Amino acid sequence: MNTFNVKGSATGQYLGYALQPVRLFYHLLSCPTDAEVGLEYADDVSVHHSDGSTLVEQCKSALKTNPITDWAEDLWKTFHLWIDNANAGAYDPVKTRFQLYVTPVKSGNFAQQLSDLSNEDEIKALLDEIAKRRKKISSTSKSAEHLDAVFAAYPKLVVQIIQNFKLITEDQDPLSPIYAHLDATVSKETLEKACSYGIGNSMDRIEKAVKSGSLPLISAQEFRTTFRAFINKYDATNVLHSLADQPDDAVVQDTLSSAPPFVQQLKLIDADIETTTRAASDYLRSSADRTSWAAEGLIFEDSVDDYNDTLKQRHGHVRGEIDLTHGALEPPKRGLLVYHKCCQITPVPLQGRVVPVHFMTGSLNDLANRNDIGWHPDYRKLMKQESEE
């Protein structure tokens, strides 16, 4: 995708705006999954589709004034900018939709007519009427230079832009279309928190792109994966259902034959074949679930680390208890007791949601595979010896 050189764009100055980040978030939620959304790139906000078409949007806050009255500077400056940018090759007017978003709700006769018309002859007739009435407007008017630029432009270009032009002024609050979009999937209790996160996360992505010298564009798909993970962390049903099938016996046996560290750890405590086979199966299935849940946006990126920290803490408590109450047992038996007790404890929740039993036991074995935890009292020394042999 080519870099735009657009008049009226001020990449890097977005921190001073309030409405544009809200619209950025809205478009990230509502655009096609394979699109990218930009801030202060092709316009205030822009949506770049995979087929090469573009939506460019000017965002106008109308809290104090009406930017779409017939002779409003903002209205004609917007068309002036679009014409200049099209002439400069920033975008193809045939493949571009031009949108003027105004909130709260305002009205403007010319603006609404320009939005409603698509027939070329009707557009030309309206422009002729506006031109006649323009003669009565003072040349010192703030809109004068923009009006002059519009009427001096190539007529076919002006008509094309108007044919693709849409005025959006239906929201008293710019958050209302976002709330409507999320209403079916997010609880009312979480809605405000979700909006705050979504706007903040999208702005963080833009800021990182600008600081790194990249284009101020966000992949809708990547954003939504992160946003869904956030929603599932704070606003979800109470259960995380497994997405992984039971691994094939052949795959389990291959894992056992390769003797990864978690299998070696189980050998140190003389675990029987049934226990070791179950551990391998749970290890493989939990790994698949972890990957699938993250890809589907069902878990938040930092949740697995928090989950593992909790498992390590529980392991430490269990090991301390076994040392105190069964210190006379031989080390392998004490280790086997630690393993079974850790696996029998009520599963630790992930993001406050109940996980399948196999996920907790598989995660325990994953930690053992990294030697973050161990079963035999001397597992660190013994595992080091194994690796050196």
**Ranges of each domain in the chain:** 14-233, 249-388
Determine if the pTM surpasses 0.85.
Answer: no
pLDDT of 236: 60
- Tell me which H or E stretch contains 52: none
* Residue ranges in 261-345 assigned as alpha helix (H): 261-268, 273-295, 303-325, 331-344
Given this model, what pLDDT does residue 238 score?
Answer: 67
- What's residue 298's pLDDT? 84
Q: Give pLDDT tens digits for 75-113.
A: 999 999 999 999 999 999 999 999 999 999 999 999 999
Closest CA to 165 of 58, 258, 296, 254: 58
Could you please report the per-residue DSSP string of 174-214? TTHHHHHHHTTTS-HHHHHHHHHHHHHHHHHHHHHHHHHT-
Question: Rounded distance, CA 335 to CA 268, Å?
Answer: 8
Structure tokens at 303: 């949740």
Cα–Cα distance for residue pair 205/219, rounded to 1 Å = 10
* Residues of the chain predicted below pLDDT 70: 1-17, 139-140, 235-238, 389
- Give the tokens for residue 212: 């790194």
Measured between alpha carbons, how far is 45 from 31 in angstroms, rounded to an integer? 12
Place of tokens 């392998």: 332
Backbone φ and ψ of 376, nearest 5°: -65, 140
* Cβ partners under 8 Å of residue 363, min gap 6: 286, 290, 307, 308, 311
State the amino acid at position 121 in one-letter form: D
Q: What's residue 8's pLDDT?
A: 45
Residue 181 structure tokens: 């979009």
pLDDT at 191: 85
pLDDT of residue 310: 95
* Torsional sign, CA 110, 111, 112, 115: positive
Give φ, ψ of 99 to 5 degrees.
-130, 135
**In the prediction, which pLDDT does 17 show?**
44
Tokens of 389: 């042999």
